Chain A
Amino acid sequence: MSAKPTDTTDAAAGVFLILVAVFFGWQTTGLETGTSLRMGPGYFPMVLSALLLIMGVLVLVKSFKGQGERIGRIAWRGLIFILPAPIFFGLTVRGLGFVPSLFVTTLIASQASVRMKPLPALVLAVLVTVLSTLVFSYALGLPFRRFGPWLPF
Chain B
Amino acid sequence: MPGAYAEFLGGNMAMKRILGALCAATVLSSAAFAEGYPERTITMVVPFAAGGPTDTVARLVAEKMSTDLGQQIVVENVGGAGGTLGAGNVAKAEADGYTILLHHIGMATSATLYRNLPYDPLGFEYVGLVTEVPMVMVARKDFPAADFPAFVEYVKGNADKVTMANAGIGAASHLCGMLFQSAIDTQFVTVPYKGTGPAMTDLLGGQVDFMCDQTTNTTQQITGGTIKAYAATTPERLAIFPDLPTVAEGGLPQMEVSIWHGIYAPHGTPAEATGRLSTALQFALADPGVTKAMADLGTAPSPAADATPAALKTKLETEIARWKPVIEAAGVYAD
Chain B residues near A94 (CB, 8 Å)? 19
Please pick, from B19, B26, B76, the residue contacting A143 in the complex, using a CB distance under 8 A: B76
Chain B residues near A95 (CB, 8 Å)? 15, 19, 22
Query: Measured between alpha carbons, how far is A35 from B174 in the docked complex, in Å?
Result: 22
Q: Would you call A76 an interface residue if the criterion is a C-beta within 8 Å of the partner chain's C-beta atoms? A: no
Is A149's CB under 8 angstroms from B76's CB?
no
CB distance from A30 to the nearest CB of B (A): 13
Is B43's CB under 8 angstroms from A149's CB?
no
Chain A residues near B232 (CB, 8 Å)? none
Is B23's CB under 8 angstroms from A149's CB?
yes
Query: Measured between alpha carbons, how far is A143 from B99 in the docked complex, in Å?
Result: 11
Q: Would you call B130 an interface residue if the criterion is a C-beta within 8 Å of the partner chain's C-beta atoms? A: no
Is A149's CB under 8 angstroms from B26's CB?
yes
The A-B contact count (CB < 8 A) is 17
Chain B residues near A150 (CB, 8 Å)? 19, 22
Is A149's CB under 8 angstroms from B94's CB?
yes
Q: Would you call B75 an interface residue if the criterion is a C-beta within 8 Å of the partner chain's C-beta atoms? A: yes
Known contacts A149-B22, A150-B19, A150-B22; is A143 also within 8 Å of B94 by CB?
A: no
Is B22's CB under 8 angstroms from A141's CB?
no
Q: Would you call A75 an interface residue if the criterion is a C-beta within 8 Å of the partner chain's C-beta atoms? A: no
Please pick, from A91, A143, A149, the residue contacting B74 in the complex, using a CB distance under 8 A: A143
Chain A residues near B94 (CB, 8 Å)? 149
CB distance from A111 to the nearest CB of B (A): 22
CB distance from B147 to the nearest CB of A (A): 32
Chain B residues near A91 (CB, 8 Å)? 15
Chain B residues near A149 (CB, 8 Å)? 19, 22-23, 26, 94
Chain A residues near B22 (CB, 8 Å)? 95, 149-150
Name the interface residues of A80-103: CB closer than 8 Å to any CB of B: 91, 94-95
Q: Mark B165-208, 1 if CB is under 8 A from A, else 0.
A: 00000000000000000000000000000000000000000000
- Describe A's contact surface by its main secondary structure: loop
Is A143's CB under 8 angstroms from B15's CB?
no
Q: How large is the interface on B (under 10, 10 to 19, 20 to 34, 35 or more residues)?
A: 10 to 19
Query: Measured between alpha carbons, how far is A91 from B14 in the docked complex, in Å?
Result: 11
Is B43's CB under 8 angstroms from A143's CB?
yes
CB distance from B124 to the nearest CB of A (A): 19
Query: Measured between alpha carbons, how far is A150 from B22 in the docked complex, in Å?
Result: 7
Name the interface residues of B66-100: CB closer than 8 Å to any CB of A: 74-76, 94
Which of the listed residues A94, A95, A141, A149 has the most CB atoms from chain B within 10 Å of its own CB?
A149
CB distance from A105 to the nearest CB of B (A): 16
Name the interface residues of B1-26: CB closer than 8 Å to any CB of A: 15, 19, 22-23, 26
Query: Measured between alpha carbons, how far is A149 from B92 in the docked complex, in Å?
Result: 13
Chain A residues near B19 (CB, 8 Å)? 94-95, 149-150
| Closest residue of B by beta carbon distance from A145 | B43
CB distance from A143 to the nearest CB of B (A): 4
CB distance from A15 to the nearest CB of B (A): 31
Query: Measured between alpha carbons, how far is A63 from B65 in the docked complex, in Å?
Result: 66
Query: Measured between alpha carbons, how far is A114 from B23 in the docked complex, in Å?
Result: 39
CB distance from B31 to the nearest CB of A (A): 16
Chain A residues near B75 (CB, 8 Å)? 143
Name the interface residues of A129-151: CB closer than 8 Å to any CB of B: 141, 143, 149-150
| Closest residue of A by beta carbon distance from B98 | A145
Chain B residues near A143 (CB, 8 Å)? 43, 74-76
Chain A residues near B15 (CB, 8 Å)? 91, 95
Is A141's CB under 8 angstroms from B23's CB?
no
Known contacts A91-B15, A95-B19, A150-B19; is A141 also within 8 Å of B74 by CB?
A: yes
Query: Measured between alpha carbons, how far is A69 from B26 in the docked complex, in Å?
Result: 58
Chain A residues near B74 (CB, 8 Å)? 141, 143
Can you list 17 A-B pairs, Cβ within 8 angstroms, ordered by A? A91-B15, A94-B19, A95-B15, A95-B19, A95-B22, A141-B74, A143-B43, A143-B74, A143-B75, A143-B76, A149-B19, A149-B22, A149-B23, A149-B26, A149-B94, A150-B19, A150-B22
- Which residues of B come within 8 Å of A, CB atoms? 15, 19, 22-23, 26, 43, 74-76, 94
- Which residues of A come within 8 Å of B, CB atoms? 91, 94-95, 141, 143, 149-150
Extra pairs beyond A95-B22, A150-B22 (15, CB < 8 Å): A91-B15, A94-B19, A95-B15, A95-B19, A141-B74, A143-B43, A143-B74, A143-B75, A143-B76, A149-B19, A149-B22, A149-B23, A149-B26, A149-B94, A150-B19
